[in-house]
């Protein structure tokens, strides 16, 4: 792993920190640049080993690390750094030096343990990172009589008591798991509203209405006094010259103070003509013929459009503009809505967010915020994301726009399953809060088929494992529920990796060994699969073997079932190297079958596109978790044929978009994935549904280029036809996403 990526990120952050016009963006970019600099230094001196699951020298894998974009560890632990105000406050309160080792020792005294146990009973603690639960777990173990478990845990933590933060965080209200989920906490919603800024164009418009339009009226009044029967008079009295000199000076001052609106600076604009004419009159004592003509035209046009100075017509126009200018800004109203959230638990969602989005009340009104002013739509939008409700409700209301967002919320549901495995309510609450914090840890960049650190590897979770019981039915129920929601609401989208990871953990809690597979990154894929993929493909044989799915993709599932488990890890190719043969010549492994189906020679050259073709064949053979969900009893509310229709709608949308893009291959890949899910759903539908699907979609064949070919080849397979070994049939090629050359569907 080279440092080129890190250097690129450092350069980008540094450039933003130096050049961006927003000071807050510059501040954040400067912090980011500092973290990337530390990461580069740590990689250079060997204190960080990129690609390892324990990349920081001297820190075990279970420590929560500061992870940068791309999965790179900066070399720092999240719980390290200077003492926090909370730690200093505890040290002052108990009268000990502000030292992490002393603070840790304090919580092992009778007074400290009593304080921890009080927090446990009340539930008034926060677990922002997993380390926040460590001392609370020690206190629970001691009260439960498991002194051996507490001592074993303390022995593991001992080397790090001086380096990391262990002081528990106190919350204003109890932490309790529930079947309600939310995208944002009340605290996050408050921050989003409080940091709201007006759009530059809106601010420019308000400046124009409040500053430049009134000044324009004064300049127009000045010149209009020199017009008689619509014609400019040649002479200027002394009092007129004095007023002109004052207004020109005012213009110069306003131009320095008010810079958002720039229209008045354009030479051809009416105000610019009025001002330049006044300057010419003051300097030269007269107007040149061209300048006089411009002035005549400008004044005539302005009076004709809005009325003469002092007229009722012009007064009405300015009165309407005054209403707009004096109305509270979106930023002001968003700030008021943010203050309303001060009474909400900053770590919880909002059960009734509409209570915070009503019009301005009498006690909130002021000179700049009239009573009854309605909140702008952005307030309701932000609050809806903080709404706490069952996940089905949020999906129905459109609060969860994608499968990726759904994956973010699953840990909140999974936490209730984790809690159900601990009979003690106090411990259940703590472990649920800890699980949510653990799922917020950022994943590391790993190589050589290493696995991310699992929650069960954390020493305080291992310490309380003897006090848990299996939660089989609850965990399996959540898997079926979330799987059905993902398929029903996003039928044309493959399961994102975070969602796969959550489902995998839940299945483990249920005591089931179901091989769920993640989407592999083509740019770092090294040609080798873990045995999980072979097992997933063999499990898929029982779901789609002998169906339309197997026929369309030309899968011999008997061959898949005969694939042996790999005896040892295969040699790994590197960029620019030739593929290594990972199996003996007389043995075909899962990876070898994927390369064979992708028509790649064993000694072919490495490339991202070639990797992608191999990865896609692995997804096809395994159905990329669709068969696994069906095998565990997942049943969406919608029928398989309806899901096929909706997945195919996604195919058409993506293909239409791809034909409009300059770089469409990524969109074509997603369309091929949606097409694969369409085929899977049709394979599970009752007999006759495939023909009904083809009949329904016949009218759309000509609407999007390429759709007619997809339907024609599906009709060919449904009638008993097959693709040849090269993936072609009389009607054309099989639709796949990855290709090492130009894609046929774009021609």
Tell me the pLDDT tens digit for each residue of 431-486: 988 988 898 888 888 877 788 888 889 999 999 999 988 765 678 888 998 999 99
Tens-place pLDDT, residues 531-580: 999 999 999 999 999 999 999 999 999 999 999 887 655 444 444 434 44
Tens-place pLDDT, residues 305-327: 888 888 888 888 888 887 777 67
Tell me: do 59 and 113 sit in the same domain.
Answer: no
Asked if the structure places residue 496 within a domain, the reply is no
Tell me: do 652 and 737 sit in the same domain.
Answer: yes
Tell me: do 651 and 742 sit in the same domain.
Answer: yes
Give the E-state strand segments of 387-542 in sequence order. Answer: none
Asked if the structure places residue 456 within a domain, the reply is no
Asked if the structure places residue 28 within a domain, the reply is yes
Asked if the structure places residue 450 within a domain, the reply is no
How is residue 600 written in tokens?
Answer: 């790649």
Range(s) of the domain holding residue 238: 203-326
pTM of the model: 0.65
Cβ count within 10 A of residue 508: 15
Tell me: do 69 and 115 sit in the same domain.
Answer: no
Domain boundary among 301, 326, 351: 326
The pLDDT of residue 533 is 94
Tell me: do 306 and 287 sit in the same domain.
Answer: yes
Contacting residues for 79 by C-beta, under 8 A, at least 6 apart: 63, 64, 129, 131, 164, 165, 166
The pLDDT of residue 477 is 85
Asked if the structure places residue 635 within a domain, the reply is no
The pLDDT of residue 228 is 84
Contacting residues for 631 by C-beta, under 8 A, at least 6 apart: 514, 539, 542, 543
H-helix segments, 160-199? 186-194
The secondary structure of the chain in percent helix, strand, coil, rounded to multiples of 5, reads 60, 5, 35
Average pLDDT, integer, range 628-650? 93
Distance of CA 123 to the CA centre of its chain: 30
Tell me: do 348 and 279 sit in the same domain.
Answer: no
Asked if the structure places residue 364 within a domain, the reply is yes
Tell me: do 65 and 117 sit in the same domain.
Answer: no
Tell me: do 318 and 249 sit in the same domain.
Answer: yes
Q: Is 533 helix (H, G, I), strand (E, B) or coil?
A: helix
Domain boundary among 388, 409, 429: 388
Q: Is the pLDDT of residue 64 over 80?
A: yes
Tell me: do 214 and 315 sit in the same domain.
Answer: yes
Of the two residues 496 and 177, the one the predictor is more confident about is: 496
- Cα gap 87→78, rounded to integer Å: 15
pLDDT band at 731 (very low <50, low <70, confident <90, very high): low
Tens-place pLDDT, residues 157-210: 999 999 999 999 887 666 544 467 889 988 899 999 888 877 788 788 888 888
Asked if the structure places residue 471 within a domain, the reply is no
Domain count, the chain: 5
The pLDDT of residue 567 is 65
Tell me: do 270 and 305 sit in the same domain.
Answer: yes
- Cα gap 414→177, rounded to integer Å: 10
Q: Are 632 and 479 in contact (CB under 8 A)?
A: yes
Average pLDDT, integer, range 277-303? 89
Q: Is 446 helix (H, G, I), strand (E, B) or coil?
A: strand
Q: What is the 3-state secondary structure (H, E, C) of 310-335?
A: CCHHHHHHHHHHHHHHHCCCHHHHHH
The pLDDT of residue 1 is 46
Query: Interior CA angle at 218 toward 243 and 263, to 5°?
Result: 120
The pLDDT of residue 602 is 57
- Cα gap 349→383, rounded to integer Å: 9
The pLDDT of residue 705 is 86
Q: Are 97 and 87 in contact (CB under 8 A)?
A: no
How is residue 249 written in tokens?
Answer: 């000076």
Tens-place pLDDT, residues 349-381: 888 888 888 888 888 777 677 778 888 888 889
- Cα gap 555→557, rounded to integer Å: 6
Q: Is the pLDDT of residue 277 over 60?
A: yes
Domain boundary among 272, 292, 326: 326
Q: Are 69 and 62 in contact (CB under 8 A)?
A: no
The two most distant CA atoms of the chain are separated, in Å, by 108
- The values of phi and psi at residue 170, to 5°, are -90, 140
- Cα gap 683→541, rounded to integer Å: 13
733 bridge partner residues? 728
- Cα gap 523→18, rounded to integer Å: 31
- For the ranges 485-499, 560-574, 665-679, the lowest mean pLDDT is seen at 560-574
Tens-place pLDDT, residues 384-407: 999 888 888 899 888 999 888 888
The pLDDT of residue 553 is 94
Tell me: do 210 and 304 sit in the same domain.
Answer: yes
Q: Is the pLDDT of residue 679 over 90?
A: yes
Of the two residues 99 and 569, the one the predictor is more confident about is: 99
The pLDDT of residue 235 is 85
Query: Is beta strand 227-228 parallel, antiparallel or unpaired with respect to 169-170?
Result: unpaired
Distance of CA 151 to the CA centre of its chain: 41
Tell me: do 311 and 225 sit in the same domain.
Answer: yes
Asked if the structure places residue 498 within a domain, the reply is no
Average pLDDT, integer, range 24-52? 76
Q: Is the pLDDT of residue 701 over 60?
A: yes
């Amino acid at each position: 792993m080279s440092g080129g990526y890190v250097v690129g990120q450092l350069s980008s952050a540094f450039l933003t920190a130096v050049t961006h016009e927003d000071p807050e963006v510059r501040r954040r970019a400067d912090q980011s640049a500092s973290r990337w600099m530390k990461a580069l230094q740590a990689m250079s001196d060997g204190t960080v080993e990129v690609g390892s699951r324990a990349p920081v020298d001297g820190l075990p894998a279970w420590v929560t690390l500061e992870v940068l974009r791309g999965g790179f560890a900066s070399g720092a632990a999240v719980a390290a750094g200077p003492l926090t105000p909370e730690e200093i406050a505890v040290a002052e309160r108990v009268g000990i030096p502000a030292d992490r080792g002393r603070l840790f020792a304090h919580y092992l005294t009778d007074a400290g343990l009593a304080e921890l146990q009080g927090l446990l009973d009340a539930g008034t603690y926060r677990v922002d990172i997993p380390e926040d639960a460590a001392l609370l777990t020690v206190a629970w173990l001691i009260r439960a009589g498991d002194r051996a478990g507490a001592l074993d845990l303390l022995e593991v933590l001992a080397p790090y008591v001086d380096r990391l933060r262990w002081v528990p965080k106190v919350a204003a209200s109890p932490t309790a798991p529930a079947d309600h989920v939310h995208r944002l906490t009340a605290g996050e919603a408050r921050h989003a509203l409080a940091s709201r800024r007006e759009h530059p164009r809106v601010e420019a418009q308000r400046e124009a209405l409040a500053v430049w339009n009134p000044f324009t009226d004064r300049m127009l009044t000045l010149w209009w006094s020199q017009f008689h029967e619509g014609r400019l008079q040649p002479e200027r009295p002394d009092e007129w010259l004095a007023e002109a000199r004052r207004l020109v000076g005012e213009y110069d001052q306003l131009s320095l103070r008010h810079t958002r609106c720039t229209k008045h600076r354009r030479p051809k604009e009416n105000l610019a003509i009025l001002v330049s004419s006044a300057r010419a009159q003051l300097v030269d004592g007269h107007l040149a013929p061209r300048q006089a003509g411009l002035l005549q035209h400008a004044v005539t046009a302005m009076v004709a459009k809005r009325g003469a100075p002092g007229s009722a017509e012009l007064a009405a126009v300015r009165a309407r503009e005054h209403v707009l200018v004096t109305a509270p800004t979106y930023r002001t109203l968003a700030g008021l809505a943010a203050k309303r959230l001060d009474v909400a638990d900053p770590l919880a969602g909002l059960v009734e967010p509409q209570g915070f989005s009503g019009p301005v009340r009498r006690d909130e009104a002021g000179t700049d915020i009239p009573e009854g002013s309605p909140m702008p739509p952005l307030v309701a939008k932000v609050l809806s994301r903080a709404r706490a409700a069952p996940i089905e409700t949020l999906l129905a209301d459109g609060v969860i726009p994608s499968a990726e967002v759904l994956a973010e919320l699953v840990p909140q549901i999974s936490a209730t399953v984790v809690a159900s495995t601990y009979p003690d309510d106090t411990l259940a609450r703590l472990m649920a809060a800890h699980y949510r914090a653990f799922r917020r840890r950022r994943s590391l960049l790993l190589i050589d088929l290493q696995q991310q650190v699992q929650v069960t590897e954390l020493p305080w979770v291992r310490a309380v494992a003897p006090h848990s019981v299996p939660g089989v039915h609850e965990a399996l129920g959540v898997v079926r529920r979330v799987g059905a929601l993902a398929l029903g609401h996003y039928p044309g989208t493959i399961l994102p990796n975070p969602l796969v990871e959550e489902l995998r953990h839940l299945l483990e809690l249920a005591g089931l060994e179901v091989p769920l597979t993640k989407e592999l990154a083509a740019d770092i894929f090294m040609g080798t699969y873990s045995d999980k993929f072979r097992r997933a493909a063999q499990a898929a044989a029982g779901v789609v073997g002998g169906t339309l799915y197997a026929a369309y993709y030309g899968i011999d599932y008997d061959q898949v079932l005969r694939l042996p488990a790999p005896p040892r890890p295969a040699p790994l190719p590197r960029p620019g190297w030739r593929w290594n043969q990972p199996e003996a010549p007389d043995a075909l492994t899962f990876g070898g079958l994927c390369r064979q189906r992708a028509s790649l020679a064993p000694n072919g050259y490495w490339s991202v596109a070639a990797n992608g073709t191999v990865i896609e064949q692995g997804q096809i053979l395994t159905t990329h978790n669709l068969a696994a969900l069906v095998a565990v009893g997942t049943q969406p509310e919608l029928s398989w044929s309806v899901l096929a229709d909706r997945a195919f709608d996604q195919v058409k949308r993506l293909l239409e978009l791809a034909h409009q893009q300059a770089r469409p291959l990524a969109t074509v890949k997603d369309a091929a994935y949606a097409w694969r899910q369409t085929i899977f759903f049709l394979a599970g539908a009752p007999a006759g549904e495939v023909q009904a699907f083809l009949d329904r979609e016949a009218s759309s064949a000509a609407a999007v280029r390429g759709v007619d070919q997809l339907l024609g080849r599906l009709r060919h397979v449904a009638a008993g036809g097959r693709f040849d070994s090269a993936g072609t049939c009389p009607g054309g090629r099989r639709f796949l996403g990855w290709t090492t050359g130009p894609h046929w569907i774009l021609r």
